[in-house]
Structure 1
Amino acid sequence: MMNQDKRLEVIMQTLEKNHTLTLQEIMKLTGASRDTVRRDIVKLSDSDLVKRNYGGISLPHTFRYVDDFLSRTDEMTAVKQVIAQAAAKLVQEQQQLFLDVSTTINCIPAYLPKIEQGLVLTNSLDIADQLLRKTELSVRLIGGVYQQKRRGTNDSNALRDLLSYRSEITFISAVGLTTDGVYYAFEDDVAFKQQLADQSQQVVLVIDHTRIGMRHNFRALGLEKLDYLVTDQSLPDELARQLDDAKVRVIVTDKAKK
């Protein structure tokens, strides 16, 4: 049985590699009970060595990276498709849409209703390609420098181009959602997502359950900026309560309810 100093050392070494750890992962890692692990977390948090979040801990004040777009495309494909299908049902005839760069939003074009007229704005090469091949919709690709790893753009040129448009419904994703708001990995996401939210009548956040309770490098939006959340599993009680207070309508996919 490890003593506390040894447990804390093991926890921090693993956290440096994985960036986040759940309570269950720490229990398995150290062989300690839930109550003991909670005391260890409190000690680390009080020493400002970790940041507590829903269900676990993460490193504080460190820049964390996300894998590039193509490497994430094949992860949890079935879940992303179910979420995308539910999100696409929110689209109505002749609405002007914005579809942001995201591996989950990348699944939405396949489930859009058969609409003959309408304009879709996007900053995603892959989404634009799908829309042109599979729908009759007009497509406007936002200008800017397109990055290979992200398969899209949200640089300053894209932000300026975005100012010319308004959307009736905007679909965004995120790397984290907590009671504090919506989080992203890159600083240029902040201004871009804020502008998207300001220029859209409705903002729909689509994320899978692995992003719930996760903080990341940059907070871009408060919960009050969202109109819908579409996800695949039920939410923690406190997050659900705060979303309800912010008048965010939550859609949990049918597959997740079974």
Structure 2
Amino acid sequence: MLTVERKSLIQKVLQRDGRLVAKAFSQELGISEDTIRRDLRELAAEGLLQRVHGGALPASAAEADFASRQATATSAKSSLGLAAARLIASGQIVFLDGGTSNIQLARQIPRDLRATVITHSPSIAVELVEHPSIDVEMIGGRLFKHSIVTVGSTSAEAIARIRADIFFMGVTGMHPETGATTGDAEEASIKRLIARQSGETVVIATKEKLGAASPYQIVPLSEITTLVTERRDDAEQLRPFKSSTVTVVETDH
């Protein structure tokens, strides 16, 4: 089998099964495991999969620049944002992460809901300027332009002094094996800290994020309270999440 044929087959297996075990795949094809591992390294370098111990997972398609993400799946994100906004109770302290899905959430918060929103995202803060009943507190720090959120020691020190009732966390990948992941180590660290300071952690995931993985783990699946995602025709994709401790909220759009 030619290299290009093997790589094509690897991507088809990942799309079909959501994971690939290098040893089993090499035995199935009757070629060396080293050959498969080399293929996986090269595909990972092209951003076409995410390598993990023993094999690979599908790469997240949600790591494009902010402007591109804003123009993607806007209808789905609006529906997800509405479902997520319904999880906020009056009087709560809410930490809203950055990202295009959370911008939709901010837009969907009922006008009569009274709450405090803490955010390290200037984009989220601007969305809530006209909301009459939401108090907004901003976390400072160095601006991470990919997600338009602040990161670094200044952010971490401020977050460590906060206790939030609920955290709406942005991710680029959600997979049963790797949990919530993102593409930057420092951003992952900040998200992990916010989750530790919050009573509940909610993830909003459009369909391209579900079953995919990015290089840096934020938290494992066991540390996520609720997953808000799109309803699937194929129920198998959601089964691993539903069989865990996560509450799954599905939306139509």
Q: Structure 1 vs Structure 2: percent identity of aligned residues?
A: 21
Among 93, 101, 108, the alignment partner of 2:98 is: 101
User: 1:45 offset after TM fit, Å?
Assistant: 8.5
User: 1:136 offset after TM fit, Å?
Assistant: 2.6
How many correspondences in the alignment?
Answer: 230
Residue 237 of structure 1 aligns to a residue in which SS? helix
User: 1:133 offset after TM fit, Å?
Assistant: 2.0
User: 1:124 offset after TM fit, Å?
Assistant: 0.9
Q: What CA deviation, in whole Å up to 9, does each residue of 1:112-135 have, x standing for no partner?
A: 123453210011111101111234
Structure 2 contact 169–204 (Cα < 8 Å) conserved? yes
Give unmatched runs, 5+ long, in structure 2: 17-24
TM-score, normalised by the number of residues in structure 2: 0.78
Distance 1:117 1:59, change over 3 A: closer
Distance 1:217 1:236, change over 3 A: farther
Distance 1:22 1:101, change over 3 A: farther
Distance 1:42 1:124, change over 3 A: farther
Distance 1:41 1:207, change over 3 A: farther
Residue 194 of structure 2 aligns to a residue in which SS? helix
User: How is 1:119-198 mapped onto 2 (pairs within 5 angstroms)?
Assistant: 119-180=116-177, 181-198=179-196
Q: What CA deviation, in whole Å up to 9, does each residue of 1:234-254 have, x standing for no partner?
A: 37637524x344321101103
TM-score, normalised by the number of residues in structure 1: 0.77
Give the AA of the match of 1:219.
Q
User: 1:152 offset after TM fit, Å?
Assistant: 1.5
Partner of 2:22: none
Counterpart Cα distance in 1 of 2:4 and 2:104 = 42
Partner of 2:207: 209
Partner of 1:75: 72
Q: What CA deviation, in whole Å up to 9, does each residue of 1:177-199 have, x standing for no partner?
A: 11121111000122212111111
Counterpart Cα distance in 2 of 1:252 and 1:153 = 30
Counterpart Cα distance in 2 of 1:41 and 1:71 = 42
Residue 208 of structure 2 aligns to a residue in which SS? helix
